[in-house]
Amino acid sequence: MRPFTTVLLAFLTGSAAAQVDYPTCLSGFSWAFNSLNQSPCQVASALGEACTGLDFPIPNLTSTQNYLGPIPAAANQCRCSSVFYSVLSACAVCQDALVSTWSFYNENCTEVSVSVFPPPIPSGIAVPNYAYLDPTANGVNTFNPQIAQSDVGPDSTAVSQPTGVTSTSASGTTLPTSSKKKSSNAGAIAGGVVGGVVAVLIIVGLILFLRRRKPVKTTEPFDSDKLVAETTPGNISSTIPSTPAPAKYYDPNDPTTYPAEPFVPSLYSSPSPPSQNQSFPHSVVGANHTGTTNYSGMGVIPQQNISYHPGQAGYTGTAEVM
């Protein structure tokens, strides 16, 4: 009965393990993995769960995106730890994405933890030593992949806790008191089998009962969309410029495209003399004109460079555009 019980318990406890998504690193970033061959994205997900008490999926990044720091409501010493920032940055690097600066990442933090991860490291997780490097010590205030790659320090893991003391008898074995007890009747065997089955059923029922009574996380799962921002190289920011609305073209069937006032053409018969500060939509080509004024470009015509003769024949006041 013991092997069956062991397999059953292993199946029930194994099925309860949650699957959390995290990005897959590109090839060539083996230096970012820990001694357990866990990627920095997997480590960041585990540390994020330790910080929030919730499943902490890490979203994938494109080459123009970066991970953001916590919002003010979620800014605690754990999320504001440089250790968490460094493994999250290593996760971005191994996706060939952008990395937020340390000051931009912790802008919503009232208190930061440098080279320290406040809560215990989750069991089964090893944090690479490069995560404990001070991001402000390299002179650029950000995670430095080159320095991290050259770090050869040992990983940090959860501290082993004593599981209790197993007591044994002085002799270590139990000997039969009489050789006459070697024989047994069929009724005793049948009773033992039935008792074993009942014990297994009780254990299974107890496990199911405890699993149902396990406190359910009432808080909504961590919103991984708050972790990503669209950026451009050299400008790490969470602000995305809005796209202007497309211009409308004239449509005789759409009154909203009509001009405010219809244009009424008029005759220009008697022009007034241009002033010294009068601006024309084109630059002057020649000066001291006695008839038509030839010009192109944008400029201002000074008064002394124009001969204005309204009485001469042929002058219409219309400028000739080149």
Residue 152 has what DSSP assignment?
A: -
- Helix (H) or strand (E) holding 163, with range, is none
Distance CA 270, CA 250 (A): 34
Give the pLDDT score at 205: 75
Instruction: Note the pLDDT tens digit of each residue in 227-286.
Output: 777 654 444 533 334 444 455 666 777 777 766 655 444 444 445 555 544 444 444 444
* Integer angstrom CA distances of residue 55 from 12, 20, 117: 20, 7, 18
Residue 168 has what DSSP assignment?
A: -
pTM score, whole prediction: 0.51
What is the C-alpha R_g of the chain? 40
> Which residues, other chains included, contact 178 with Cβ-Cβ below 8 Å and sequence gap of 6+?
none
Give the pLDDT score at 173: 39
Average pLDDT over residues 219-228: 59
Instruction: Note the pLDDT tens digit of each residue in 61-88.
Output: 999 999 999 999 999 999 999 999 999 9
pLDDT for 160 beyond 80: no
Which two structure tokens, joined as six digits, stand for 29? 């970033």
Higher pLDDT, 23 or 282: 23
Contact 137, 102 (CB under 8 A): no
Average pLDDT over residues 183-212: 69
Distance CA 143, CA 128 (A): 14
Distance CA 102, CA 136 (A): 8
In this prediction, residue 13 has a pLDDT band, given cuts at 50, 70 and 90, of: very low
Most confident option among 44-53, 218-227, 255-264: 44-53
Distance CA 289, CA 319 (A): 11
In sequence order, what E strands does 144-298 have?
Answer: 228-230, 279-280, 283-284, 294-296
> Which residues, other chains included, contact 222 with Cβ-Cβ below 8 Å and sequence gap of 6+?
48, 52, 54, 55, 56, 57
Domains of the chain, residue spans: 17-158+215-230, 271-322
pLDDT for 146 beyond 70: yes
Distance CA 107, CA 80 (A): 9
In this prediction, residue 195 has a pLDDT band, given cuts at 50, 70 and 90, of: confident
Distance CA 236, CA 251 (A): 42
The residue among 299, 297, 295 whose CA lies nearest residue 278 is: 299
Give the pLDDT score at 133: 96
